[in-house]
Structure 1
Amino acid sequence: MQKLNLTQSLSQKLSPQQIQFIKLLQVPTAELDARIEEELEINPALEEGKEEEPEKSQEEEFEDSYEEDLGRDDHEVNLDDYLDDEYSGYKMQGDGNYNSDEEDREIPISSQASLHEQLISQLSFLKLDERQKIIGQQLIGSIENDGYIRRDLEAIINDLAFSQNIETDIDEMEEILRKIQSFDPAGIAARNLQECLMIQLERKEHPDDPVVVHALAIIHDCFDEFTKKHYSKIQKRLDLNEDEIKDAVNLITRLNPKPGGTSDGLVRTQYIIPDFILTNNNGKLEVSLNSRNAPELKISRSYADMFDAYDKSDKKDKKLKETVTFVKQKLDAAKWFIDAIKQRQNTLLRTMEAILQYQREFFLDGDETNLRPMILKDIAEKIEMDISTVSRVANSKAIQTEFGVYPLKYFFSEGIATDSGEDVSNREVKSVLQGMVDAEDKKRPLSDDKLVKMLNKKGYNIARRTVAKYREQLQIPVARLRKEL
């Protein structure tokens, strides 16, 4: 016998307006123009520009009718209700919370030839037949941004067979690869770091120089020991004295481990466009939105005028009803988008102003040690918003100050207790830790245990595992790898 069970569940469903807002909140300023342009293209009811005759009463009237409309069942379309809506005065424009002096500039793009183009150009000077040139082009196309070929040559051979109908073997591939490895920049097309360094050393102007010879021997015969800085083992194995090891290591460390990075044309030059501008007027801090955050948008006058035409029409047939439904959807979508932009601006400003109040001392002098411990929850409670909303702002936005441009997540950090009972930002501890490592004797670098003792003496109550974590976050190697001859 079948039984019927009744269960209750609670679920949260986001409205189209909320989804629109969440998506726009994550869009950085540099991409906002493109996102607005995209919306303008797909929605004819949305236009860019100022309203010719803005009427505030019409805006308020429309907003009231819009709120009532949200609570209705959208499955039944009431033509008379549509005709009562007033969209013509609805607009969105800058509200004075942005920097009017900010100029919109195009992001500069490097005009030099890309690394790929440079290598193809050099390939054309080799005496190769058409088939070999295609193999060379395939190899060059496999070079990654840092200048290495990490794909297995067998895989490239298979690509040539399937895509170019060219049969080749490892010997021929190796031969053409060696020719490409003679191109500039030195070290290009290497398959690993060891080969990259070997290529650069072999191309030195004086290959018989003892320093070059010793460096080649170290990379060729003792590469593993070199990467671990086991210099005493290298000295014993190659029968070199301390000065010879030191000179050879100095030469190796001056080589380029990422030859692809030497090409300015490899990737586009990226510039951070700040979302906020901070000004300091004699100690009075004022934050404003970048002007790109405040585009002027409005509801299309022609679409609004359609409602007037329908209102005067005596026809109420099905076709007219469908037309009105379409126009209504476009007008609603335009209003939702404008509302989302407004809400985005408001949320950005409220979040940044809360951060500004929390970290005021830092924004006055730029001293990292003045940063207070601050987590997402602190700001969320201050502005009475959800933590996820603050997180979306913090993870994708930046502010321009007189000390430079900072990502907002820079200002968030956990607290570390001190002997005085006061909590300080872990950024302050990291700054002190970095200073200790910078000032250490490189012949006898400080171990994590010694760093812990030094930090404890300065009043920071910190464990060894925390020091190790901070050291890794600062990309500081362990003491053994920091040792210099």
Structure 2
Amino acid sequence: MLKQQQSQKMMQKLSPQQIQLMKLLQVPTDMLEQRVQQELEGNPALEIDEHQNDEEEKEDPLEEEYLIGSEESEKKEEDDEELNDPDFEDYLEEYLGNDEASYKLEVNNYSPDQEEKTIPVAVESSFQEQLERQLGMRELTEKEELIARQIMGSLDDDGYLRREPIALADDLLFAENIRFKEADIVRVLEEVVHSFEPAGIGARDLRECLLLQLDRKLQSEDVQQYYEEKEMKSLKLAHRIIKDYFEPFSKKHYKKLIRQLNIFREDLKEATDEILKLNPKPGSVYASSSKIKKYVVPDFIIENKNGELELRLNSRNAPELRINKEYKNMLEAYSASKKDKKQREAIMFVKQKIDAARWFIDAIRQRQDTMFKTMYTIMNYQEDFFLTGDEKRLRPMILKDIAEITGLDISTISRVANSKYVQTEFGTKRLKSFFSESLQTQSGEEVSTLEVKKILTEIIEAENKRKPLSDEKLKTSLQDKGYNIARRTVAKYREQLNIPVARLRKEI
């Protein structure tokens, strides 16, 4: 039996405008121009204002780097069947009586003639092009060349061959319908690819990579001519260590090596110095130049003016926008003409586009206001750091702290902090780097975990590298400085700082 029942529940729904603002908050400055361009292409009622009056006055200190000239648009939902609604007539009168909606995002002292639209990138040969050039200088059979090209195409960015010969043989069978023996692939790898520059290309692991470079050095006439007898001895010892004692060497079991090789500590140090001159990632020499480098564009700029911090938004790449005049003229023509149904339907389309343009302009304004408000709060909260640049003076700060001061939601603060950077006189910093948990000192004072990590780094840098400090001794050192910390926490912070364990920090 069917039963009707009433229930009451609370639900929160975001409006399209709020969703648009949330998405814009996540967009960093270097991608904002692209986002604005997408909106321009999708909405003909929005256009770039290329003749903005340069003498317009700024409205609000929060908007010192941009100007908003639009009023909030009416957000009414209209049905196609309600075209005669008097609200629509009010909308026309209100819109036609308003000034054009526009905003300015360029700094006043920065002219378009000064703006560099592109960054020149030097033309360099890629990793594969360098290998192709060297391959072209070798006299190979057709099958050998096919194998060499397959190997070259299978190298990673570091120059290593991570695939097994049987897998390369299967690839060649599938691509060329030719069956190759594993021995043929290994022969081409060792006789051809391993002879390419830089030495170490095509190595299957780190040990082989280092051995290939040492072999090349020992066979080099220049090395034999200019190296002294003592240096050649160190080079040969380095080759022997990598070939026969790679595992204890990689684990820094130096006492064991000295005993097994029957050498002095000084001999081992000189051999180690030769090994440290080698490149563990030979392909990176070319691989790095073949990729487009990503340049960090700061979203905020903080300057120290005689002890006073000044914050501004970096908005020089954003264009000036306004409502398209032709769309305004269409509304004016509509208001002065007879209003048949077809014309009213067309004008409803115009109204929707104008509303969307106004919403976008308003979202941009709110984005800038929210970003400035958030960064201004962070700047004041971490004033000691921005004045001195000393990371040890960073205060414990979490998203909730900034949310409570600004009155914004934690999720909003998170969106602002994500992928944003601030330019200071001490370098460009990621916004997220200012957020950290707190740790209590022995005196009961709350300090930032960033401060503890900075002290930990300094202790490790100052340690005796022959007898590096264990995590237990690092804990004791931090406790002596007044930081109440456990050994497990020390290990966690050390790993977060990408600092290896004591055994791997040991030097001869």
Would the TM-score normalized by the shorter structure come out above 0.5?
yes
Q: Distance in 1 between matches of 2:70 and 2:479?
A: 65
Instruction: Give the direction of change, closer, same or farther, for the CA distance of 1:442–1:188 in structure 2 (3 Å limit).
Output: same
Give the stretch that moved more between structures: 181-190 or 387-396: 181-190
1:269 to 289, 293, 299: 293
Instruction: Give the direction of change, closer, same or farther, for the CA distance of 1:163–1:392 in structure 2 (3 Å limit).
Output: farther
Contact 2:160–2:283 (Cα < 8 Å) also in 1 = yes
1:458 to 450, 472, 481: 481
RMSD value, Cα: 2.9
Contact 1:288–1:349 (Cα < 8 Å) also in 2 = yes
SS in 2 for 1:399: strand
What are the residue-to-residue correspondences of 1:184-223 with 2, within 5 Å? 184-206=197-219, 209-223=232-246
Q: Distance in 2 between matches of 1:379 and 1:115?
A: 47
What are the residue-to-residue correspondences of 1:164-179 with 2, within 5 Å? 164-178=176-190, 179=192
**What is the CA distance between 1:479 and its match in structure 2?**
0.8
Question: Could you tell me which amino acid in structure 2 is paired with residue 199 of structure 1?
Answer: L
Which position in structure 2 is the counterpart of 1:29? Answer: 29
Which position in structure 2 is the counterpart of 1:295? Answer: 319
SS in 2 for 1:181: helix
Q: Distance in 2 between matches of 1:215 and 1:110?
A: 38
**What is the CA distance between 1:99 and its match in structure 2?**
7.1
SS in 1 for 2:283: helix
Gaps of 5+ in 1: none
Instruction: Give the direction of change, closer, same or farther, for the CA distance of 1:252–1:50 in structure 2 (3 Å limit).
Output: same
Q: Distance in 2 between matches of 1:479 and 1:375?
A: 32
Aligned length: 477
Q: Deviations over 1:394-443 (max 9, x none)?
A: 12111111111111112111222123322121111111111111111111
Which position in structure 1 is the counterpart of 2:65? Answer: none
Contact 2:198–2:282 (Cα < 8 Å) also in 1 = yes
**What is the CA distance between 1:76 and its match in structure 2?**
4.5
Give the stretch that moved more between structures: 217-226 or 376-385: 217-226
Q: Distance in 1 between matches of 2:399 and 2:137?
A: 58
Give the stretch that moved more between structures: 79-88 or 404-413: 79-88
Instruction: Give the direction of change, closer, same or farther, for the CA distance of 1:61–1:115 in structure 2 (3 Å limit).
Output: closer
Which position in structure 1 is the counterpart of 2:123? Answer: 111
Which position in structure 2 is the counterpart of 1:233? Answer: 256
Which position in structure 2 is the counterpart of 1:125? Answer: 137
**What is the CA distance between 1:62 and its match in structure 2?**
6.2
Contact 2:29–2:315 (Cα < 8 Å) also in 1 = no
Gaps of 5+ in 2: 59-67, 225-231
SS in 2 for 1:190: coil
Q: Distance in 2 between matches of 1:35 and 1:372?
A: 35
Which position in structure 1 is the counterpart of 2:277? Answer: 254
What are the residue-to-residue correspondences of 1:72-91 with 2, within 5 Å? 72=77, 74=79, 76=81, 78=83, 81-82=87-88, 84-85=91-92, 86=95, 89-91=99-101
Question: Could you tell me which amino acid in structure 2 is paired with residue 387 of structure 1?
Answer: I
- Identical amino acids, percent of aligned pairs: 49
1:348 and 2:371 correspond: yes
Which position in structure 1 is the counterpart of 2:166? Answer: 154
2:104 to 77, 94, 97: 94
Q: Deviations over 1:427-473 (max 9, x none)?
A: 11111111111111111111111111111111111111111111111
Instruction: Give the direction of change, closer, same or farther, for the CA distance of 1:162–1:77 in structure 2 (3 Å limit).
Output: farther
Q: Distance in 2 between matches of 1:174 and 1:290?
A: 55
Instruction: Give the direction of change, closer, same or farther, for the CA distance of 1:358–1:78 in structure 2 (3 Å limit).
Output: same
1:446 and 2:443 correspond: no
Contact 2:46–2:354 (Cα < 8 Å) also in 1 = yes
Instruction: Give the direction of change, closer, same or farther, for the CA distance of 1:470–1:39 in structure 2 (3 Å limit).
Output: same
Which position in structure 2 is the counterpart of 1:416? Answer: 439
Which position in structure 2 is the counterpart of 1:19? Answer: 19
Instruction: Give the direction of change, closer, same or farther, for the CA distance of 1:74–1:374 in structure 2 (3 Å limit).
Output: farther
Contact 1:82–1:324 (Cα < 8 Å) also in 2 = no
Q: Deviations over 1:225-263 (max 9, x none)?
A: 222112233344444443333222222222111222223
Question: Could you tell me which amino acid in structure 2 is paired with residue 17 of structure 1?
Answer: Q
Contact 1:82–1:328 (Cα < 8 Å) also in 2 = no
Taking structure 1 as the reference length, the TM-score comes to 0.89
**What is the CA distance between 1:275 and its match in structure 2?**
0.7
Instruction: Give the direction of change, closer, same or farther, for the CA distance of 1:134–1:10 in structure 2 (3 Å limit).
Output: farther
Taking structure 2 as the reference length, the TM-score comes to 0.85
**What is the CA distance between 1:168 and its match in structure 2?**
2.9
Contact 2:147–2:185 (Cα < 8 Å) also in 1 = yes
1:360 and 2:372 correspond: no
Instruction: Give the direction of change, closer, same or farther, for the CA distance of 1:307–1:411 in structure 2 (3 Å limit).
Output: same
Which position in structure 2 is the counterpart of 1:314? Answer: 338
Which position in structure 2 is the counterpart of 1:144? Answer: 156
Question: Could you tell me which amino acid in structure 2 is paired with residue 41 of structure 1?
Answer: E
SS in 1 for 2:316: helix
Contact 2:69–2:101 (Cα < 8 Å) also in 1 = no
2:347 to 313, 321, 324: 324
Which position in structure 1 is the counterpart of 2:304? Answer: 280
Which position in structure 1 is the counterpart of 2:62? Answer: none
Contact 1:275–1:289 (Cα < 8 Å) also in 2 = yes
Q: Distance in 2 between matches of 1:7 and 1:378?
A: 38
Instruction: Give the direction of change, closer, same or farther, for the CA distance of 1:466–1:61 in structure 2 (3 Å limit).
Output: closer
Q: Distance in 2 between matches of 1:205 and 1:77?
A: 89
Q: Distance in 2 between matches of 1:152 and 1:2?
A: 67
Q: Distance in 1 between matches of 2:177 and 2:355?
A: 55
Instruction: Give the direction of change, closer, same or farther, for the CA distance of 1:165–1:28 in structure 2 (3 Å limit).
Output: farther
**What is the CA distance between 1:131 and its match in structure 2?**
4.8
Q: Distance in 2 between matches of 1:246 and 1:392?
A: 51
**What is the CA distance between 1:216 and its match in structure 2?**
2.5
